[in-house]
Amino acid sequence: MARGIASASEKAGNTQEAKNTKIDESDLPQEIKELLKRVAEYREKLREKEQELEEVMRDQSLNDEQRQAKLDALQQEISSLNNSLQEAMGQLSKLVTQLDLDDGAVIDMMSLAMS
């Protein structure tokens, strides 16, 4: 079991590294690259928290009060991450306007942001 967890954790790390490498290899301005990395990090953390939420829902060892407390805490973290993600996406949008990127660069950026 621990082996499976380590493997999943390694895969997540490699996935994040792969995303960062793709971002670094793009021809986008450095400010956009940094924001894209932040967006990817927030999206990965959101996936992790949503998985934790599912695990708490399935955890039969918790009583209702314990489960609700854990769910509330996770939902607060998810809300905070969503706010951070939205803020970063807003900053990306502003940068695109300020830097007057061409359509190809915008398409590349959006593709990287959503991957």
Q: pLDDT tens digit string along 22-59?
A: 999 988 999 999 999 999 999 999 999 999 999 999 99
Distance of CA 114 to the CA centre of its chain: 10
pLDDT of residue 11: 47
pLDDT of residue 14: 59
84: helix, coil or strand?
helix
pLDDT of residue 1: 39
Q: Residue 109: pLDDT above 80? A: yes
Round to whole Å and give the CA distance between 41 and 84.
10
